[in-house]
Amino acid sequence: MRKLWIGASVGVMGAAAYGLLWRLPRVTAPPPQPAASPAEALARLQKLQAQDGPEINPLCRTQLLAQAAPARRVVMLYHGYTNCPHQYHQLAARLHAAGDVVLMPRLPLHGATNRVPRDLHRLTAQRVVDFVQATVDIAAGLAPELAVLGFSFGGVLAAWAAQHRPEVQRAVLVSPAFDLQPVPNRRLYAALLPRLPDQFVWWDPALKEEAAGPSHAYLGFSRRGVGHLLRLGLAVEQAARRRAPAAGSICLIVNPSDELLDNRAALALAARWKRHRAKVEVRRFAAEDQLMHDLMDPLQPLQQVDKVYPLVEQALATAGG
């Protein structure tokens, strides 16, 4: 995968940038309203699925893999930025076959058939928090136990749920995107990017529409949208400074070969949670495997899901401390 290009110049902004540095808008969570029964959860899920209009790729719609008999656990999977629930179609099938209910919600403004979207800048940190709260409320009513897994920016969503929602028994954060290698100061970028004019940035500026990769994923991203998602990660970290996470246990899995992420911020968050005496463990994919960033999507040309999925499934099954 080509390096992520943000395109924001710190020097151009000068003193104005410094003035914005510490003024990140507050992200507030709506009050939790967990569904009290499977019937209530399914009714709310239908309303969420009704948002998947004709512009949404059928593969990318919010999906539920239910069980014929009541299940012990529901696993909710948050996909990555510019991808969609189909990123998890093979992993979800494996979890479902093992007896889990699996919920794969579509992140707002994702999954459209138009793979060059121009509205991703509307995905604000507040909108993402509202989405996480609503989906945890739904998932909590589908089974007695709730596990949440998120990858990349989806891992930041899972971290928010782990920090704030006691309904989550197990949270697994796979390569959570708290910091990006090409970003020299994420707090500054989180402050600046949402205030700058938006720009659609190709994942592969040379190949553009011809770039290899899953046909259900977008071909680029919103520069402003990245700023909002960085804000969400900083909001999780700020909450973690004040109190322990609400989740029963958390597993962080990092990829030492990740060409996009700087893992130090995620590891620092795990250490902070541990200082609160939370049940947190850190696992690592094998460095010698040289895994790409999007190690979850089986349709990536360089995928190695045969090595990735067993570790992810083990992390979901184990409540380590």
Write out pLDDT tens, residues 104-121: 999 999 999 999 999 999
Q: Please report whether residue 9 resides in a domain.
A: no
- Asked if residues 157 and 78 have their Cβ atoms less than 8 Å apart, the reply is yes
**Per-residue confidence (pLDDT) for residue 42, from 0 to 100:** 98
> What rounded mean pLDDT belongs to the chain?
92
Distance of CA 104 to the CA centre of its chain: 12
CA separation, residue 110 to residues 82, 161, 220, 321 (Å) = 6, 20, 12, 35
pLDDT of residue 230: 95
DSSP secondary structure string for all residues of 128-189 = HHHHHHHHHHHHTTTSSEEEEEEETHHHHHHHHHHHH-TT-SEEEEES--S-BTT-S-HHHH
pLDDT at 318: 77
Per-residue confidence at 2, pLDDT binned at 50, 70, 90? Answer: very low
pLDDT (0 to 100) of residue 22:
53
pLDDT attached to residue 184: 86
37-58: per-residue pLDDT in tens?
999 999 999 999 999 999 999 9
Which stretches does DSSP call E strand in the chain?
63-65, 73-78, 101-104, 145-151, 170-174, 200-202, 220-222, 249-254, 280-284
* In contact, 283 and 316? CB cutoff 8 Å: no
Over residues 310-320, the pLDDT tens digits come to: 999 999 997 64
Distances (CA, A) of 209 to 52, 213, 238: 24, 10, 38
Asked whether residue 7 carries a pLDDT value surpassing 50, the answer given is no
DSSP-derived secondary structure for 115-139: SS-S-GGG--HHHHHHHHHHHHHHH
Which of 6, 117, 18, 20 shows the shortest CA–CA distance to 60?
Answer: 117
63 bridge partner residues: 104
Domain assignment present for residue 164? The answer is yes
Q: Given strand 170-174, what is the order of strands in its sheet?
A: 63-65, 101-104, 73-78, 145-151, 170-174, 249-254, 280-284
Query: What is the predicted pLDDT for the residue at 183?
Result: 86
User: Is the confidence at residue 5, as pLDDT, over 70?
Assistant: no
Residue 169 covered by a domain: yes
Segment 26-42, tens digit of pLDDT: 888 889 999 999 999 99
Q: What is the mean pLDDT of residues 80-86?
A: 98
Distance CA 93, CA 163 (A): 28
Question: Does residue 292 lie in a domain region?
Answer: yes
Query: Would you state the structure tokens that stand for residue 274, as one six-digit string?
Result: 């541990």
In a domain, 302, yes or no: yes
- Evaluate whether residue 10 is within a structural domain: no
121, 92 contact by CB (below 8 A):
no
Q: Is residue 75 part of a domain?
A: yes
pLDDT of residue 190: 93
**Residue 269 pLDDT:** 98
pLDDT for 16 beyond 90: no
Q: What is the mean pLDDT of residues 181-187?
A: 89
128-165 pLDDT, tens digit per residue, is: 999 999 999 999 999 999 999 999 999 999 999 999 99
Question: Which CATH number goes with the domain that contains 178?
Answer: 3.40.50.1820
Please give the share of the chain, as a percent, with pLDDT higher than 90. 88
Q: Which pLDDT value is given to residue 21?
A: 52
pLDDT at 15 (0 to 100): 44
Tens of pLDDT along 208-242? 999 999 999 999 999 999 999 999 999 999 999 99
Q: Which residues pair with 189 in a beta bridge?
A: none
Q: What is the pLDDT of residue 26?
A: 82
Structural domain count of the chain: 1
Q: For residue 4, is it within any domain?
A: no
